[in-house]
Amino acid sequence: MEIFDLLLLGFSEAMSPANLGFCLIGALLGTLIGVLPGIGPTATIAVLLPITFFLPPLAGIIMLAGIYYGAQYGGSTTAILVNLPGEASAVVTTLDGYQMARQGRAGSALAVAALGSFFAGTVATFGIAIAGPMLAGFALNFGPAEYVSLMIFGLLAATILASGPVLKAIGMILIGLLFGMVGTDQATGAERLTFGSLELFDGIEFTVIAIGLFGFSEIIANLERSGSAGVTVARLTRLWPTREDFRRAWPAVLRGTGIGTFLGILPGGGATLASFSAYSLEKKVSRTPEKFGTGVVQGVASPEAANNAAAQSSFIPLLTLGIPSNNMMAMMLSAFMIHGITPGPSVLTSQPEIFWGLVASMWIGNALLVIINMPLIGLWVKLLTVPYRLLYPAILLFCCVGVYSMNNRIFDVLLAAGFGLLGYAFRKAKCEPGPLLLGFVLGPLLESNLRRTMLITQGDASIFVERPISLVMLIATVILLALMILPSFRKKREEAFQEEEA
């Protein structure tokens, strides 16, 4: 069995003391920011991206991945104990989790969340190990035309599955594409959209945009909101679910894992979408849907399993096709790029230790997280009492030094401040900045593949419908667009996201 040999290779990579250490650091950091409201994984990874430049490639990527799925664990802790979702994906967990805590079943809820997440993480890890090589083999047949269609499908699907108005999301992608074009044109060497500024010849650095839009503008927005309500922590009792809770939770965990793994792979999907969908599914299949919201264990188990599964399965399109499906994966893509690795089907064969090392580290990381979360829960809860007033100056410093260290240029810090202002304007305009990052990352790929296709066919665009894989993607794109125009679907989608905002 080849796959076992490869998994073994992965484990031997991931078990090296250094990689194990970075996996632990990532999981700890992820739990920390998951617990602290006001700092999300996107901003944290943006801040840490420049630092990974100083690490070996695998170690850096293992750490960043650990932050992402670690945040899913941490977010649930505060959701259950203090009714405060540390992460967007833990919002639904507050509904039943906090009620359970008020009934003195906090320990049970926390244990179900942690064990469910661990189970889901294990399944999703195997999902990546099995689906990864298959998809990558398939993707080796892709020519430039297929990539163009795939990217157009991915970008559009991401706008529809993400929350917020679709037109705004498409506009944000276009702005991202535009930012991606700044600098020297790859094909012709012409200098584009630079205002004649020498500093922009190499284009805009990804971290500059990410830290500006997510780091700086998030700090400003948090300070504007301020005045956080007093935190009351529910009392912790026994830390093991009762047999009754166990019996009810495990089918919900299975369903959550399934839906999460599936939704994570879709473009635009990810942890948040998965947890909301899992909760509504649980409500639908339950014989007593009216009890949801009063402390039902399924209402904790299923979304927690789903968000963790999705956090991991969203790595599949990135690792096998090289196409990020949400803004977190756009971050991961640039983490690979920093080390000169372009994720995609060829990485699996040319650098198997990267792919399998990451897969193995995810499983190890999940096991570490159960250990970090169960006995140490008291410690994390104490951290909640640290006021934001003391936190944001530290974040500010890390952001500034991080941006500077990419190229040792002051110009980048100023540019990031400008993007902070822009991000603030986008917030006021109620535009999600996520799709902009996707457009920015995919822009250069899209342009070079489009050019190549057109060059091969001498400007004949019919190739996109003549190649079968490309045709399927384009048909899927058209169907998605048509669905958006249909009023009934639009209403359903709006309803789904309304529930999310409530």
Partner 1 sequence: MAGPGATKRGDMPDLLTAALFIGFGVLGLWLSRPLDQGTLAQMGPGFLPRVVCGGLIVLGAVIGFSALHRQGEPLEAMKLRPLAVIVLSIVGFAYLAEHAGFVVASLWLIIAGSLADPGGRWRTTLLLAGGLTLFGALVFIYGLGVQMTIWPF
Please report, as ranges, the residues that interact with partner 1 according to CB under 8 A: 51, 54, 167-168, 170-171, 174-175, 177-178, 181, 185, 187-188, 190, 192-193, 195, 216, 219-220, 223-224, 226, 388-390, 392-394, 396-397, 400-401, 404-405, 408, 410, 413-414, 416-417, 420-421, 424-426, 428-431, 447, 450-451, 454-455, 457-459, 461
> Closer CB to partner 1, residue 147 or residue 426?
426
> Closer CB to partner 1, residue 414 or residue 478?
414
Residue 31 CB, shortest distance to partner 1, in Å, is 21
CB atoms within 10 A of CB 220: 15
Distance between CA atoms of residues 287 and 263, nearest Å? 25
Residue 117 CB, shortest distance to partner 1, in Å, is 31
> Closer CB to partner 1, residue 220 or residue 370?
220
Phi and psi at 316, nearest 5°, equal: -60, -55
Residue 383 CB, shortest distance to partner 1, in Å, is 16
Residue 388 CB, shortest distance to partner 1, in Å, is 8
Residue 492 CB, shortest distance to partner 1, in Å, is 21
Q: For residue 183, give the DSSP letter.
A: E
Q: For residue 216, give the DSSP letter.
A: I
Spatial contact of 356 and 13, defined as CB atoms under 8 Å apart: yes
Spatial contact of 93 and 80, defined as CB atoms under 8 Å apart: yes
Spatial contact of 434 and 165, defined as CB atoms under 8 Å apart: no
Rg (alpha carbons) of the chain, rounded to whole number: 22
Residue 192 bridge partners (DSSP): 183
The dihedral sign for the CA sequence 479, 485, 489, 493: positive
> Closer CB to partner 1, residue 1 or residue 198?
198
Residues whose CB falls within 8 Å of the CB of residue 68, separated by 6 or more in sequence, listed in order? 30, 41, 45, 311, 328, 332
What does the H/E/C string look like for 237-265?
CCCCCCHHHHHHHHHHHHHHHHHHHHHHH
Six token digits for residue 254:
């299975």
**Among the listed residues 127, 35, 31, 92, the one whose alpha carbon sits nearest the alpha carbon of residue 298:** 92
Distance between CA atoms of residues 88 and 34, nearest Å? 10
Residue 109 CB, shortest distance to partner 1, in Å, is 33
Spatial contact of 193 and 182, defined as CB atoms under 8 Å apart: yes
Six token digits for residue 300:
């904790």
| Strand stretches in 37-184, DSSP E | 183-184
Biggest CA-to-CA distance, the chain: 71
Residue 449 CB, shortest distance to partner 1, in Å, is 12
> Closer CB to partner 1, residue 244 or residue 460?
460
> Closer CB to partner 1, residue 337 or residue 396?
396
> Closer CB to partner 1, residue 166 or residue 367?
166
Distance between CA atoms of residues 151 and 180, nearest Å? 15
Residue 469 CB, shortest distance to partner 1, in Å, is 22
Q: What b-and-e string marks burial along 311-338, b requiring 16 or more CB atoms within 10 Å of the CB?
A: bbbbbbbbbbbbbbbbbbbbbbbbbbeb
Phi and psi at 184, nearest 5°, equal: -80, 130
Residue 376 CB, shortest distance to partner 1, in Å, is 23
> Closer CB to partner 1, residue 178 or residue 233?
178
**Among the listed residues 108, 87, 139, 475, the one whose alpha carbon sits nearest the alpha carbon of residue 308:** 87
> Closer CB to partner 1, residue 192 or residue 493?
192
> Closer CB to partner 1, residue 183 or residue 251?
183
> Closer CB to partner 1, residue 169 or residue 358?
169
Spatial contact of 214 and 420, defined as CB atoms under 8 Å apart: no
